[in-house]
Amino acid sequence: MNIKAYTIKGCSSCKILKELFERAQVEYDDVLLGKNISKEQFKNLYPSVVTFPFVVIDEQEIGGLVETAKLFLEKGLVSTRK
């Protein structure tokens, strides 16, 4: 899987998303808005996105933390058990 996680500094949901990736033991590219990509570049790529984090897997737009967690549950990458 080629995972890109678009995040912003100080975002609590972004931190939880990264924990989800660690729990699933998947590699991902953390693309920090303002450092790795400008706001303008991001808006050109994904004009309808207004919240962070935002996840793209294998060029498919997944969505935010909730959508990514649901997908990982469906694929068996994580479980609801600790």
- Position 43 in a domain: yes
Domain assignment present for 81: no
Q: Provide the pairing of β-strand 29-32 with 3-7.
A: parallel
The structural domain count of the chain equals: 1
CATH code, domain with 9: 3.40.30.10
Question: According to the model, what pLDDT value does residue 82 have?
Answer: 60
80 inside domain: no
Domain assignment present for residue 46? The answer is yes
Separation between Cα atoms, residue 45 and residue 27, nearest integer Å: 22
d(CA 35, CA 78): 30
Q: In this predicted model, what pLDDT tens digit does every residue of 32-76 receive, in sequence order?
A: 999 999 999 999 999 999 999 999 999 999 999 999 999 999 999
Which domain range does residue 47 map to?
3-75
pTM above 0.85, yes or no: yes
Could you tell me if residue 22 is inside a domain? yes
| pLDDT tens for each residue of 2-43 | 999 999 999 999 999 999 999 999 999 999 999 999 999 999
